[in-house]
Amino acid sequence: MILTSFLKALAQLPDPRFRKVLWRGIGLTIALLVGLYAVLLWLVEWLTAAPIILPGVGEVTWLGDLLSWGSLGLVLVLSIFLMVPVASAITSLFLDEVAQAVEDEYFPNLPTVPSVNFSDGLRDTVNFLGVLIAANIFAFVFYVIFPFAAFFIFYALNGFLLGREYFQLAAMRRIGRAAAKDLRKEHQGKIWLAGCLMAVPLSFPLVNLFIPILGAATFTHLYHTVSRD
């Protein structure tokens, strides 16, 4: 079921609507990471605006440069862990377009559904992004306590969150939020597994740029499959 859904999504990757969402998602992800770096640089400049004088050393002039380079290293490290939630959350803002492209191709006889308005989509995306980032930051505690299980925790956590959100968004287009939640609970094992399979390739550079769109399409197929069952 999951493999079939993914192969159908992969076959549709050349669809112009998929590419449109891809470039928007990449642009917004890069903009967010650059914005984070700009905020850190501003914070460094603010902290080092006043001269720093140490007893017996005098004025320290190199601390600002050290913190600036350190902030760049911090953003690069964080981007490894945050690329999964950030790219996925941003793509979820445009999931409606991906789902509609899938339904036009594979389910052309379905009745038309109203598009999700931008404010509702943005609200869901911000909530999803907040949960993903908060959960991943909190998970660092468990990475330190259980370093041997860090990869398992990372993929299990993000697989659960990604599967939960992507299926919910795909389903509620057709049956509403409450019914989508009930259907998700009924098939939560399959959805969690599909989310884990989506989270793993998100860790690989370049490949991870395509996975959120393929995930959105896969969960649209998955919703239609389980709803028929």
Count CA within 13 A, CB hemisphere, residue 85: 24
The answer to the question of residue 190 being in a domain is yes
Q: What is the pLDDT of residues 136-150, one digit of tens each?
A: 778 888 888 888 888
The count of structural domains within the chain is: 1
Which residue matches tokens 């609200």? 123
Task: Give the structural domain span for 210.
Answer: 2-21+84-228
**DSSP for 27-65, written as a single string:** HHHHHHHHHHHHHHHHHHHHHTSS-EEETTTEEE-SHHH
- pLDDT value for 192: 92
- Tell me how crowded residue 155 is: count the other CB atoms within 10 A of its CB: 20
> Rounded to an integer, what distance in angstroms lies between the CA atom of residue 93 and that of residue 176?
17
- Asked if the structure places residue 143 within a domain, the reply is yes
Would 50 be classed as within a structural domain? no
Query: 14-18, 176-180, 208-212: which has the minimum mean pLDDT?
Result: 208-212
- Residue 111 falls inside a structural domain: yes
Q: What's the pLDDT band for 68 if we cut at 50, 70, 90?
A: low
Tell whether 40 is covered by a domain: no
> Which pLDDT score, from 0 to 100, does residue 10 have?
84
**139: in domain:** yes
Query: Is residue 213 assigned to a domain?
Result: yes
Does any domain span residue 44? Answer: no
96 contacts 122 by C-beta, under 8 angstroms: no
Pair of tokens at residue 9: 């999504």
